[in-house]
Amino acid sequence: MKILITLLVALYTSSLYAASHEIIYKGIYSWGPEVHSFKPCHEKTDYWVSFNWAGIKMHNYYKNEQNSPYQPMYIEFRGQILNEIVDGFAKQYHGLIRISEVETHTFMIPTQCN
């Protein structure tokens, strides 16, 4: 029983630690063959995107409403840059970013993010 409680406390603590390192990102999301990227506003870096259930609604909206592959879409989300080894097409990016919660997504790109 003590082991189970210890494991539960460790899991809870690690989830709080991970959530505390998440910030709000604003920028451009693109998707198409061999591309799944996010570029923060006013930065030259671009990231390969990772998400689970948190980004499904946004990603489905993108796939259903896009006019062409790689069409830029503005998004705001809570997430974090991951320090993980990547392979394949993801190696061509500056890193891996995980989306935890999407707050806004639109094909109307704000002028302050161009």
For residues 103 and 68, the answer to whether their CB atoms sit within 8 Å is no
Could you confirm whether domain 23-113 is CATH 2.40.50? Answer: yes
Backbone angles phi, psi at 93, to 5 degrees: -110, 170
Residues 62, 73: contact at Cβ < 8 Å? Answer: yes
Residue 85 has pLDDT above 50, yes or no: yes
pLDDT in tens, 64-81: 999 988 999 999 999 999
DSSP 88: G
The per-residue pLDDT of the chain, averaged, comes to 82
Per-residue pLDDT tens over the stretch 41-64? 999 999 999 888 888 899 999 999
- Element housing 83 (H / E): none
Q: Which of 46, 45, 110, 99 is nearest to 74 (CA)?
A: 110
pLDDT given at position 3: 52
Higher pLDDT, 112 or 6: 112
Categorize the per-residue pLDDT at 110 as very low, low, confident or very high, splitting at 50, 70 and 90: very high
Structure tokens at 63: 């796939």
